[in-house]
Structure 1
């Protein structure tokens, strides 16, 4: 058996190196997009509903709930007239939105008032 040596041109070497670099770059990019999410914060930092998973909701509902949560500064699950001032559209219509006339807005009252129709 005789071995045959083949001369490899510089072009072929560069082509192989370029292909290897592109392949490795693609693998690295996929690894970054598939990296695991950061672990959730401890339950003590999440508030009263920690660990409770809600059912999937229609688009926009999460935005409504997030707005309610931002306005509910004392985290009691309802918006007082003072807390509603953070949301001018809600504040100006507070009396109409407060269906049970108890002086605060529940999540349900708030959601019904601000959901797009």
Structure 2
């Protein structure tokens, strides 16, 4: 039996082959991400998380509020708001009803201002 010989390609050949493989892989990934022709994806179909500048500040505010609300009582105490520096610095100004907590509405107004 004859031993199999390993092909030794030059560096240039290997570089071109690697570039071609990466390019084709990138095209395949791009093709998989695009929606069907003629159809525009609605915001609810976009697989990205919400955040500042995504066009849905209400969803971003709700998510941030729920994460900060440690005791899940539906309001943020001053201690809970300390996790969010932008909110904690203006806590007293945002607390419109002066009850010592922020409601989701007060919190959202604080994010938008």
- TM-score with structure 1 setting the length: 0.49
Aligned residues: 63
Kept after mapping to 2: 8 A contact 1:97/1:109 = yes
Question: What are the equivalent positions in structure 2 for 1:38-117 lying under 5 Å apart?
Answer: 59-115=56-112
User: Hey, which bits of structure 1, 4+ residues long, moved more than 3 A?
Assistant: none
What runs of 5+ residues in structure 1 fail to find an aligned partner?
1-29, 31-57
Which protein shows a greater Rg? Answer: 1
TM-score by length of 2: 0.50
What CA distance in whole angstroms lies between the structure 2 residues aligned with 1:61 and 1:108?
10
Q: Does the aligned pair in 2 maintain the 1:61–1:115 contact within 8 Å?
A: no
Gaps of at least 5 residues in structure 2 are 1-31, 33-54
Q: Which moved more, 1:81-90 or 1:107-116?
A: 107-116
